Amino acid sequence: MSDVFVSSDPGTAPRELRDVVTVRDKLTQGYHDAVLEKVFRPSWFLIGNANELPKPGSFFVRDIPTFRTSVLVKRGKDGVIRSFHNVCRHRGKKVVPTECGWAEGTSSSHTCWFHGWSYSADGSLRSVPDENQFFSMDKAKNGLVPVRTEVWAGLIFVYFGGEDGVGLTEWLGELADGFEGYYTEMEKIGTFSADVRANWNIAMDSFSEGYHTIFLHRRTQPKLVGKDNPMRHAPLIDVYDRHVRVGTPANSEYLGPPAERALYAHGRKLSPAVETDFSLLPPAVNRTRFQPWFFDIVGHFPNVSILNGPHWYSVVTVWPIDRENTRLHFDLYARKTRHAGDRLAQAYTRGLQYTVAREDLSAMEDVQRGLDSGAIDSINLSLQEFSLQNRYAIIDELIGAR
């Protein structure tokens, strides 16, 4: 079935890739420390969709264990989206409390619950109880500490590497064009998080290939594979300098169970339905207009996989907590609803996608245990796992291990 590939010639990759990747060295504390400073610190991270902040004062907070911080992302009175460390300038408490690493809402200001210091929507320090008892404190210099933030095509990105690092457009490279009007049409319809006892690479690997579908998801998604392409060989693999785009095929004979067919007949055809009308898609989504197409996996180096579907997209974000523990966020988005039928279709796909994601989670800790055993030194990656080969190669390059 290798003829299914249309853009996966290993010779087109920007670096020499290896299908046998040593892993023993990648599980050491020294390697992990180097990855945090040389890979994660100077990277841009997708953190949300601008539609999650619909009006002035809208905010969300996300704890980021990799940088031991919590980030408040907020739309100001002027409509501008800014991000701040969610850390009070008085004595350091988290200003907006989080539950399971997350919070959201709308508020013109934020008051720290400890001693009542209050911050405006633009992050400036607004009021301090007993202000005249702080003799040297300069209010103007004690706003929330900003985090560099940019919005691209409706998506919000943050950067923890300082003001001098690479700009977002340059960072996105080949992915910077062709998505206009796609993310801006989508609204968030679900989110959940999980901590797993596995290295972050193991988590990323699971959401970067379709090779496992016929086996790991055989119970929840048995009909995703058809006779024409049982191993879900990718119709497209673009390997760029940092990022990747992998087209994943649908089963042309897929019909879905009766309930799913009824829901998707009255609402939008969400996952796992096969959509053949590509008229709403921008050029960068299913860029070869392949049929039968399911979705693209767009790997935003180093820690995000976006699954771009015809009327939906989902984001898997992987944050290393430490060398062998990882936090995963799953965020699901769909085109804005037109009527109740679309709402029902959203509810159906949300339940199904979470069930499938839990199967992915279940394999990760077993892989970690297998590697911990020391029984194997390396892993073997196929052509379908080309994007994994690329990520391991880039990381080795960045930390000087190759």
**Closest distance of CB 148 from Fe ion, Å:** 33
Closest CA to 275 of 216, 334, 361, 317: 334
In one-letter notation, the amino acid at residue 183 is Y
Which residue number places its CB atom closest to Fe ion? Answer: 360
**Closest distance of CB 259 from Fe ion, Å:** 22
**Closest distance of CB 89 from ligand FES, Å:** 8
CB-nearer residue toward Fe ion: 205 or 360? 360
61 binds, among Fe ion, ligand FES, none (CB under 5 to 8 A by kind): none
**Closest distance of CB 103 from ligand FES, Å:** 16
H or E element: which one contains 261?
helix 258-266
- Whole-angstrom distance, CA of residue 356 vs CA of residue 364: 14
**First-to-last C-alpha distance (Å) of the chain:** 32
In sequence order, what are the beta bridge partners of 379? 21
Among the listed ranges 59-67, 69-77, 107-115, 158-166, the one in contact with ligand FES (CB under 6 A) is 107-115
**Closest distance of CB 68 from ligand FES, Å:** 17
Could you identify the residue written with the tokens 């950067």? 159
- Whole-angstrom distance, CA of residue 353 vs CA of residue 223: 14
Q: How far from 155 is each of 74, 181, 238, 246, CA to CA, in Å?
A: 13, 11, 21, 20
CB-nearer residue toward Fe ion: 52 or 360? 360
| For helices 258-266 and 340-372, angle between their N-to-C axes, nearest 10 degrees | 130
360 binds, among ligand FES, Fe ion, none (CB under 5 to 8 A by kind): Fe ion
Q: At 143, list the tokens.
A: 């706003």
Q: State how far Cα 127 lies from the chain centre.
A: 36
**Closest distance of CB 51 from Fe ion, Å:** 26
Among the listed ranges 84-92, 130-138, 144-152, 173-181, the one in contact with ligand FES (CB under 6 A) is 84-92
**Closest distance of CB 336 from Fe ion, Å:** 27
Which DSSP state fits 384?
A: G
- The answer to the question of residue 261 lying near ligand FES (CB under 6 A) is no
Q: What is the number of alpha carbons within 13 Å of residue 37 lying toward its C-beta?
A: 7
How many residues touch ligand FES under the rule CB under 6 A: the total is 9
* Binding characters for ligand FES, 113-132, by CB under 6 A (x = yes): -xxxx---------------
CB-nearer residue toward Fe ion: 117 or 211? 211
CB-nearer residue toward ligand FES: 91 or 223? 91
369 binds, among ligand FES, Fe ion, none (CB under 5 to 8 A by kind): none
91 binds, among ligand FES, Fe ion, none (CB under 5 to 8 A by kind): ligand FES
Cβ partners under 8 Å of residue 232, min gap 6 = 210, 211, 213, 214, 224, 225, 248, 249, 384
